[in-house]
């Protein structure tokens, strides 16, 4: 009779152990990366064969990390502020003059280039437009206009200006002075310099009104 009373006490722990043994934990392959294991008496991130068999605690920690990663990935990214390009309507900040049929600027033009170098570093983009006078054919004037704009570009790059530089050129057009005089032709032999995207300036939508 006493033996029958002790059977439930003996069988109950055995039944509980059997039930626990029948509950399988997910394998490591089913767990999202990174894996977490109980290593050297502390939780550590591990991977591959370096990880011990997962436990309920380590699986719970992995779920927390995965939830944080998913929450972070859903945050909208703030796109960089677009730089509004300069247009022909914008007045050039500098006009670099050139001698007749030459791709190197005049002495006055070189002085303007030196002053431009200091200002240009403050902007994200520099736009150069090469021009010529109306003497000669269209094709050679187009080439000369390009060579003049390329000279200014090379000058700025050679002095450490890291801004984006765009180059356009067209000869025998867009005269500042259409008169048929030498003074008018001299004013048309030029590179127009426009600047856009001042560094450190606030976007328009952030400015106080």
The yes-or-no verdict on residue 106 having pLDDT over 90 is: yes
Name, of 13-22, 67-76, 127-136, the range with top average pLDDT.
Answer: 127-136
What CATH number corresponds to the domain at position 165?
3.30.1330.60
Provide the percentage of residues in the chain whose pLDDT is more than 70.
53
Confidence (pLDDT) at 26: 47
Q: Is the pLDDT of residue 4 over 80?
A: no
What pLDDT score does 32 carry? Answer: 42
Residue 138 lies inside a defined structural domain of this protein? yes
Residue 131 φ/ψ, nearest 5 degrees: -135, 160
Q: Average of pLDDT values for 128-157? A: 96
User: C-alpha dihedral over 188, 170, 172, 112, to 10 degrees?
Assistant: 10
pLDDT at 117 over 70: yes
- Which residues face 96 on adjacent strands? 191
Query: Looking at residue 141, what is its pLDDT?
Result: 97
Residue 128 pLDDT exceeds 70? yes
Identify the residue with better confidence: 168 or 207.
Answer: 168
Residue 159 within a domain: yes
Mean of per-residue pLDDT scores for the chain: 76
In a domain, 128, yes or no: yes
DSSP 8-state class, residue 99 = -
Total domains, the chain: 1
Give domain status of residue 123, yes or no.
yes
Q: Is the pLDDT of residue 42 over 90?
A: no
The pLDDT of residue 199: 85
Q: Note whether residue 70 is domain-resident.
A: no
What is the average per-residue pLDDT within 164-191?
95
Whether the pLDDT of residue 21 is over 80: the answer is no
152 domain residue, yes or no: yes
Rounding to the nearest 10 degrees, give the CA dihedral for residues 143, 93, 90, 79.
100
d(CA 51, CA 58): 11
pLDDT at 75: 46
What integer pLDDT is reported at residue 179 of this predicted model? 93
Residue indicated by tokens 């011990």: 52
Other CB atoms within 10 Å distance of the CB of residue 89: 5
Q: Phi-psi category of 104—alpha, beta or left, where left has phi over 0 and alpha has psi -120 to 50?
A: beta
Domain contains 148:
yes
Instruction: Report percent pLDDT > 90 for the chain.
Output: 49
Asked whether the beta carbons of 130 and 168 are under 8 A apart, the reply is: yes
Residue 37 DSSP symbol: E
Domain that holds residue 125: 94-198
Q: pLDDT-derived band of residue 13, with 50, 70 and 90 as boundaries?
A: low
Coil vs helix vs strand at 94:
strand
The CA radius of gyration of the chain, in Å to the nearest whole number, is 37
Q: What does the pLDDT average to over 156-164?
A: 95
Instruction: Kindly tell me if the per-residue pLDDT of 31 is higher than 50.
Output: no
d(CA 125, CA 198) in angstroms, rounded, equals 8
């Amino acid at each position: 009779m006493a033996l029958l009373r002790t059977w439930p006490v003996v069988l109950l722990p055995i039944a509980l152990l059997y039930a626990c043994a029948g509950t399988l934990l997910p394998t490591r392959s089913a767990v999202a990366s990174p894996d977490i294991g109980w290593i050297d008496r502390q939780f550590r991130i591990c991977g591959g064969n370096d990880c011990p068999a997962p436990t309920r605690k380590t699986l719970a920690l992995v779920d927390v990390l995965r939830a944080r990663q998913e929450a972070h990935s859903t945050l909208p990214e703030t796109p960089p502020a677009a730089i509004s390009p300069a247009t022909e309507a914008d007045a050039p900040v500098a006009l670099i003059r050139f001698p007749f049929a030459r791709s190197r600027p005049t002495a006055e033009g070189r002085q303007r280039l030196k002053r431009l170098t200091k200002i240009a570093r403050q902007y994200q983009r520099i736009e150069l437009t090469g021009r010529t006078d109306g003497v000669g054919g269209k094709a050679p004037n187009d080439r000369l206009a390009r060579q003049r704009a390329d000279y200014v570009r090379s000058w700025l790059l050679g002095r450490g200006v890291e801004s984006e530089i765009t180059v356009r050129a067209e000869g025998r057009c867009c005269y500042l002075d259409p008169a048929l005089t030498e003074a008018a032709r001299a004013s048309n032999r030029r590179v127009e310099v426009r600047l856009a995207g001042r560094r450190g300036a606030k976007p328009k939508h952030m400015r106080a009104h």
